[in-house]
Structure 1
Amino acid sequence: MCLLFVYINPSPKEGEYKIVLVNNRDETYIRPAKPAHMWDCRVIGGMDAEEGKEGGTWLGISEAGKIGCLMNIFQPVEDFQDNVAPRGFIVVNYLQTEESGPDYMENIAKSGVIFNHFNLVTLDPGEESYNASYYNSQINAHQKLESGVHGFGNCQINTPFKKVQKGQRKLKEIIEEYGKLECEEQLISELFTMMQDTTKNFPDKQLIEQGRGHSEEFVKNLSSIYVSCPSHDYGTRTTTAILVDHTDRIVFREKTMQQPITLDALRWEVNTFSFFVRKMDHLFAKKNLGLKNE
């Protein structure tokens, strides 16, 4: 289970952001992953390190400012397929190609490759702001995303979970209050606080329908924005915020659990990257800021 919320400003004025994005990655605690870093292919993002799937990612940004995010679709137990293509390279391949999001999605739709179902969101730098697109593998189709606030989870865009709707409303409030460059650190703080909400949004008819065959305890635990389900060794491990301002300055901040993960003695690692689109010589990173039990 993962969450993505994004604000798209079509005509940013001085002191405003083109993009405000925040993402939660939910995964089993034992699955190995590398924290956000600069890859050899000039992509910034966390990296899957599970054997056989090394090198994939759920969220990343390229030196040209392209942003891609992939979220699995929560499926009933009987619908999940084994021995299908891994999804982790879908974002990586998009970030490395010169194709636009819609063209890339069209190629996926025509490829005939079989995956377990997923959502893909792409953000392409445009003349004034960003061109955003959404692809859902269940219907094998993509669509343009208009300006404003959008929310995505492990469900189709037209049948959102309650927590997705709640997060959208909260992001609108945050943008209205803190969506200016002069409030940047407060904005990031508010985004991370929003993604740490443990309130259960349950019962949720859509979540229950997609969770057929899973235990009620597990499904209920998935109904919060921040997921913690120790009995299933599963929960929110990483939160990432990405800001793109009117000058094309990008701030990428990730907060992720340090591995090996021990729930009764959690340690967090925070990595921040800031650079201008297509000006990667100015890239810098602040790494290994250990924060205990935040």
Structure 2
Amino acid sequence: MIALDVLCLRSDVNVSRDVNQVLVTDKPISLVLREPCKLQHILTSTGTAMCLLFCYINPHPQIGQYKLVLVNNRDEQYTRPTKPAHFWDSGILAGMDMKPGTEGGTWLGMVRSGHIGCLLNILQPAGNPQTGKSRGSLVVNYLLSKQGGLECCKRIQESKEKYQPFNLVTLEPAGDSYKMVVYNYEDDQIEQLKPGIHGIGNSSIEKPFLKVRKGCKKFEQIIETHGKVEKEEELMKALEAMMRDDEACFPDPQIIIQGEKNEEQLLKDLSSIYVSHYEYGTRTTTLILVDHTDRVKVQEKTMRQPINTHKPDWDTSRFSFQIVKNDK
């Protein structure tokens, strides 16, 4: 028997099915960036559909404490059709990419066994060809497989050339705590991270962007101040505020190196935790809390579609359920 409570605070969402158009132009890139309707090709060619994740793993959770606290921002083109978080027929709790050709994938998902998968793209130089299989299937395949994170990452590593660069984060219950495994495409390394505070962005773990360093410090302060179950509402509000921080961390040497040949304004806009750049930016924030009793709370705040980029409306969905061990 699965205990499942769902509180949905959003109205029905009209999913846009606009198809991204490819731009061919002889104009200087500085002019193109001033025409929002033509921006999508520029963003696609840089691999800038990114995301940002902060995670706290408690090695020895006591009564009233959390095993896991996770917060994620999804940065994406505002016109990309997406379904908000919901339980899929397969049992995955996640938002769903609905772009024709890649529909059915996701950037962040969880199943009732407590396993979590998250995809974060790697910032690329302007003009890099964007070919290969959809990376959104990586999270789905992990959550539906019988493999643990380490085994899954090893399997993906063997076929990495089929995809554009990415970080894949896997989390799974391990005793009274959680195990976190990360595969970084660029370094071709699989790492099992120790419990504690972690920030994963759009570069290798060893070379984090400044906004990741900044976020980790703030995240640690929030956990120390509000990291108990009795302060859950304060915790969630503080995490939401952190993920809405739009202060640029620029110049950032790592962003400049990875994003070479890109417009400086684009790189500056990408240097903040909350991204806003013409027709692209942070459009979804997700919180996942797992307490010492394996009670899970998930909250997603996402821009209502079609998105008004000047004054977006936000829909909130909340889910609560008990982890069912060995249900994967």
Query: What TM-score do the two structures reach when normalised by structure 2?
Result: 0.83
Q: Which moved more, 1:43-52 or 1:103-112?
A: 103-112
Instruction: Tell me the distance in 2 between the aligned counterparts of 1:107 and 1:136.
Output: 13
Instruction: Tell me the distance in 2 between the aligned counterparts of 1:131 and 1:58.
Output: 19
Instruction: Tell me the distance in 1 between the aligned counterparts of 2:198 and 2:239.
Output: 14
Q: Deviations over 1:57-82 (max 9, x none)?
A: 0000011110010000001124x333
1:51 aligns with 2:103: no
Instruction: Tell me the distance in 2 between the aligned counterparts of 1:184 and 1:227.
Output: 26
Once the two structures are superposed, the pairs formed by residues 99-178 of structure 1 within 5 Å of their partners are 99-111=147-159, 113-178=161-226
Which amino acid letter does the alignment assign opposite residue 263 of structure 1?
Answer: T
Please state whether the residue corresponding to 1:121 is helix, strand or coil.
Answer: strand
Once the two structures are superposed, the pairs formed by residues 61-72 of structure 1 within 5 Å of their partners are 61-72=110-121
1:40 aligns with 2:89: yes
Instruction: Tell me the distance in 2 between the aligned counterparts of 1:252 and 1:271.
Output: 8
Kept in 2, the 8 Å contact 1:239–1:254? The answer is yes
Instruction: Tell me the distance in 2 between the aligned counterparts of 1:196 and 1:16.
Output: 25
1:82 aligns with 2:130: yes
Question: Which residue pairs with 1:246 in the alignment?
Answer: 292
Question: Which residue pairs with 2:57 in the alignment?
Answer: 8
Paired residues in the alignment total 276
Which sections of structure 1, spanning at least 5 residues, go unmatched?
A: 280-294
Question: Which residue pairs with 2:4 in the alignment?
Answer: none
Q: How far 1:265 moved relative to its partner?
A: 3.1
4+ residue runs over 6 A deviation: none
Q: How far 1:140 moved relative to its partner?
A: 2.0
Q: How far 1:2 moved relative to its partner?
A: 1.3
Kept in 2, the 8 Å contact 1:85–1:113? The answer is no
Q: Which moved more, 1:139-148 or 1:247-256?
A: 139-148
Q: Deviations over 1:10-61 (max 9, x none)?
A: 1100000000000000001100100000000001011100001111000000
Question: Which residue pairs with 2:245 in the alignment?
Answer: 197
1:270 aligns with 2:316: yes
Residue of structure 2 aligned with 1:258, choices 304, 310, 313: 304
Q: Deviations over 1:131-157 (max 9, x none)?
A: 111100112220111011000111110
Q: How far 1:112 moved relative to its partner?
A: 5.3
Please state whether the residue corresponding to 2:104 is helix, strand or coil.
Answer: coil
Which amino acid letter does the alignment assign opposite residue 66 of structure 1?
Answer: H
Please state whether the residue corresponding to 2:151 is helix, strand or coil.
Answer: helix
Q: How far 1:8 moved relative to its partner?
A: 0.5
Instruction: Tell me the distance in 2 between the aligned counterparts of 1:263 and 1:181.
Output: 35
Kept in 2, the 8 Å contact 1:16–1:180? The answer is yes
Residue of structure 2 aligned with 1:219, choices 259, 267, 270: 267
Question: Which residue pairs with 1:236 in the alignment?
Answer: 282
Kept in 2, the 8 Å contact 1:4–1:151? The answer is yes
Question: Which residue pairs with 1:283 in the alignment?
Answer: none
Instruction: Tell me the distance in 2 between the aligned counterparts of 1:213 and 1:273.
Output: 42
Kept in 1, the 8 Å contact 2:283–2:302? The answer is yes
Q: What's the RMSD between the two structures over aligned residues?
A: 1.0
Which sections of structure 2, spanning at least 5 residues, go unmatched?
A: 1-49
Which amino acid letter does the alignment assign opposite residue 129 of structure 1?
Answer: S
